[in-house]
Structure formats: C-alpha cells, structure tokens
C-alpha cells in the first residue's frame, strides 16, 4: 500500500502538520471547554473524540472504546496501548483525511464538528506527567560548559563518555507552550569572589534548547527495557525549553546537581510527534568508538534524528523575534533510546506519560549553541539585535520561541511552537 501524501484539508508547503505527520495533542474550545484529544492537519485540529463517536475509528485492533479514550483530558490511556495500536490509529487517521477518502470529506455535518481552526483552540499539556528526567547528552554543550568552569583539560567529567548523565526534574512545573514564566528568586553569590550568598531574583536567566520524549508503554519495577526495543516504548517527541537560572544553579549544584535553578519552569510544545512520523529522518549517530559504550548501550541501528531546531528571542524593547541559534537533534552524543535504556537498566520503572528530555542541544559552532550561557560565553559576549538592543541573559518581558522541523521531499514534519514570556519576579 502506497503511503498517503495528500489530504483533502488544504496544507501549505511550509506547514508543520501535513498528512505525513499526524501528531497527537489535547485541546479545548470556548464552546466546548472539556479538554479532549486531537491531531493537527494543516491549520486545523481534527477532533478525534468526534471522529471516534462517528464510528470512523472502530475496528482498530487493540483500540477498544476509542470515543472514550479520545474524550479523555490526557493521552496517557492511548499511550499505554503500545506501538502497534499507535501505528494502526495513525494510519486510520491518515486514511480518513486522505483526499481520496469520502469517510469524512463527504460528511458535511461531521466536518463542521470535527475540523476546528488551530487559532480557535486552547492547547493543554498532552499527558499527565508522572515523572520527568532531564539528561545532559550533547557533547558540544557539556564540553563548552566544562571549559568555562573547569578549563579545557578537564572539560568532560570522567563518566561523561560512558553514561547518559541525567537528573530527576520537576514534573509539576512542566507547562504547555504559551505559559508565562515568572523570574525565579533564590540564593546566589553577589560576586565571583563572594563566600556567602544573598537572596534575590536571578540575574542570569537562560534558555535551554532541548527535545523531550514521552514514554508510551513502560516497564515493571525490577525489569529493564533493552535498547533494541527502546523505540517501541517511546510514544513521540516534543520541543522543550528547560528555563535555567544560572546564578542560582551555580551556587546550589555541588554536590547533588540542579534544584531550584531548574525547577521553576519547563515549557514543552503541545503536539507529540510520533516516532513513526519521524522514521524517514533516522540517521546514524555520532562516533562512539572511543570509548565504546557498555553492551547495554550499544546501538545496532540508526538512532539519531535529523531535525533542525531554531531559537528566536523577542526582547521586551523590540518589535520582532530574531533567530539567535540554529541547531539540530543529530548533534546529540547519546540518543533518546540510549537515554531510555540507561534509565531502566537498574530496574527503575517508567510509566505512560513520563517524560525525558535530552538536555541542551548544541552543535560545534557558536551559531548552533543551545543556551545563552554558551552564546554569550558565560556573560562575556553580548548578543546585539538588529535594532541595537543587547542581551547577555533574559530580561523581564522577553519572549522566547523554539521551533523544529524535519525536512522531507516536498513536506516538513514539525512540532508547532514552544514559547514563553518572562514576567517579573514576585519576590524581588
């Protein structure tokens, strides 16, 4: 069967959401405020709860009571059903939206109810996130930060090339794109040579360009997920901005790692793009021959993704967004499947809706660095925008927008926006 490449719903060439994508998200509307599951097609949202109620998603093996599942306020139940069900459901939705199918196209009443302009919906978190783990898997980023704080000879810690380093983040402060973020306050050193901290608003508020992955089917406590099976346990990917207060982080992170410098907010894009949609963009990852990873981390197949990522900032004084970095997910040293396999190798159980994130994604050149810490080299080099506005770190009123696309032949697979605005500290 040939892949479906054209929808009866108009889709522009630069759209994030052609029929080849079919991401999953949770949305609501003003006339129907109950959150439910949908997919994006062009500039429209297809309400999967309405499609399911009409019987168009019946007879998918393993998908029982689709109208109930897609009327829920999160994707957790659907995530738990496993990759064969996700795949069959995605194919069924593509068939419904196909320009050659009459199932939906010729049902004017259902089209009216089920197709809603993206501009008319409110997006919600796509899942109830039980746990969130943030990794530190870009070699270029880890090297840059290491050089800044330890010098070139000790840039990477001894364990870095052997394990995908991670820490447990704060699931409760993961928010959907468009949510404002208040500048955090905390303990920080007033100067480089100071011995005692002060309390106050962060003066070094930063972005982190990341990609997140959602667990679909998890594992039982005590069991682990083999790396060869890891892709089947990942439901899909989102864009992530893991906001970071560098001055708070610098004072607190020894000896146990980040805490208040990270836990005040993590923004994600609302649409989860499935690994099936991204499969055409799988490529071989970076060389890991020196040293070779331990056997449980050995990749036997392509595991990196060629997804271009962009960060734009609109300073509070400026009238438009400007690009400050263009990077790519392919720059990650440790793949998302290595991250998942490592996470479970000790028997730690992951559950549907749990989220992992890659850590800051930086490429080898300054124009591909994924944080202001690197772009300004720890506050040494100012960013100058076209209108003359300068920045070292984020100021109140600044807006940040992350986008990403995998570029196919005559189509793109995108994620929508991961955006947020900085509001003043409440406790200045």
Task: List pLDDT tens digits, range 230-271.
Answer: 999 999 999 999 999 999 999 999 999 999 999 999 999 999
pLDDT, tens digit, 9 for 90 and up, residues 23-62: 999 999 999 999 999 999 999 999 999 999 999 999 999 9
- Going 212 to 217 to 221 to 225, the CA torsion angle's sign is negative
Indicate which residue of 141, 233, 342, 343 is catalytic: 141
pTM: 0.97
d(CA 220, CA 238): 25
The DSSP element (H or E) to which 114 belongs, if any, is helix 108-114
Quote the pLDDT of residue 1. 55
Q: Both tokens of residue 202?
A: 């962060």
Quote the pLDDT of residue 192. 87
Mark whether 407 is an active-site residue: no
Neighbours of 400 (CB within 10 A): 23
Instruction: Tell me the binding residues for Mg(2+).
Output: 242, 262, 266
pLDDT, tens digit, 9 for 90 and up, residues 131-159: 999 999 999 999 999 999 899 999 999 99
Query: Structural domain boundaries of the chain?
Result: 25-124, 132-423
Which stretches of the chain drop beneath a pLDDT of 50? none
Residue length, the chain? Answer: 428
Q: Per-residue DSSP letters for 150-193?
A: H-GGG-S-TTTTTS--EEE--GGGEEETT--EEPPEEEE-SSTT
d(CA 232, CA 215): 9
Instruction: Tell me the binding residues.
Output: 134, 136, 150, 208, 210, 242, 249, 253, 262, 266, 360
Longest dimension (CA), the chain: 72
Instruction: Tell me the binding residues for substrate.
Output: 136, 150, 249, 253, 360
Quote the pLDDT of residue 26. 99
Quote the pLDDT of residue 73. 99
Quote the pLDDT of residue 388. 98
Third-level CATH fold of 25-124:
SH3 type barrels. (2.30.30)
CATH superfamily, domain 132-423, is Fumarylacetoacetase-like, C-terminal domain (3.90.850.10)
Centroid of chain to Cα 145: 22
The DSSP element (H or E) to which 109 belongs, if any, is helix 108-114
Instruction: Tell me the binding residues for Ca(2+).
Output: 134, 208, 210, 242
Neighbours of 345 (CB within 10 A): 16
Angle at 104 between CA 99 and CA 110, to 5 degrees: 145
């Amino acid at each position: 069967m040939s892949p479906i490449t054209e929808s009866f719903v108009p889709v522009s060439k630069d759209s994030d959401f052609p029929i080849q994508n079919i991401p999953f998200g949770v949305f609501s509307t003003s006339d129907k405020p109950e959150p439910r599951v949908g997919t994006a097609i062009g500039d429209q949202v297809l309400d999967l709860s309405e499609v399911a109620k009409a019987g168009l998603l019946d007879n998918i093996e393993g998908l029982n009571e689709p109208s109930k599942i897609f009327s829920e306020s999160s994707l957790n139940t659907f995530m738990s059903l496993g990759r064969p069900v996700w795949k069959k459901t995605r194919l069924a939705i593509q068939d419904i939206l196909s320009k050659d199918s009459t199932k939906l196209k010729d049902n004017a009443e259902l089209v009216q109810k089920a197709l809603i302009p993206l501009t008319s919906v409110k997006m919600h978190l796509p899942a109830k996130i039980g746990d969130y783990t943030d990794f530190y898997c870009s070699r270029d980023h880890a090297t840059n930060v290491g050089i800044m704080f330890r010098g070139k000879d000790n840039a990477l810690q001894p364990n870095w090339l052997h394990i995908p380093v991670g820490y447990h983040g704060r699931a409760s402060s993961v928010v959907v794109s468009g949510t404002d973020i208040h500048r955090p306050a905390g303990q920080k050193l007033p100067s480089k040579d100071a011995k005692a901290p002060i309390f106050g608003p962060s003066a070094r508020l930063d972005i982190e360009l990341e990609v997140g992955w959602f667990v679909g089917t998890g594992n039982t406590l005590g069991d682990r997920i083999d790396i060869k099976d890891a892709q089947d346990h990942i439901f899909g990917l989102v864009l992530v901005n893991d906001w970071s207060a560098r001055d708070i982080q610098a004072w607190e992170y020894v000896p146990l790692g980040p805490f208040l410098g990270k836990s005040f907010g993590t923004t994600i894009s609302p649409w989860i793009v499935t690994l099936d949609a991204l499969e055409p963009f799988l490529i071989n990852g970076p060389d890991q021959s020196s040293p070779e990873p331990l056997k449980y981390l050995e990749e036997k197949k392509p595991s990196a993704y060629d997804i271009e990522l962009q960060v734009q900032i609109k300073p509070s004084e400026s009238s438009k967004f400007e690009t400050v970095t263009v990077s790519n997910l392919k720059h990650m040293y440790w793949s998302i499947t290595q991250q998942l396999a490592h996470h479970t190798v000790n028997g730690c159980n992951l559950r549907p809706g749990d989220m992992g994130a890659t850590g800051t994604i930086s490429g080898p050149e300054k124009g591909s660095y994924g944080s202001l810490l690197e772009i300004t080299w720890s506050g040494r080099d100012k960013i100058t925008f076209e209108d003359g506005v300068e920045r070292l770190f984020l100021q109140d009123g600044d807006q940040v927008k992350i986008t990403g696309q995998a570029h196919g032949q005559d189509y793109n697979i995108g994620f929508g926006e991961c955006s947020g605005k900085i509001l003043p500290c409440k406790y200045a």
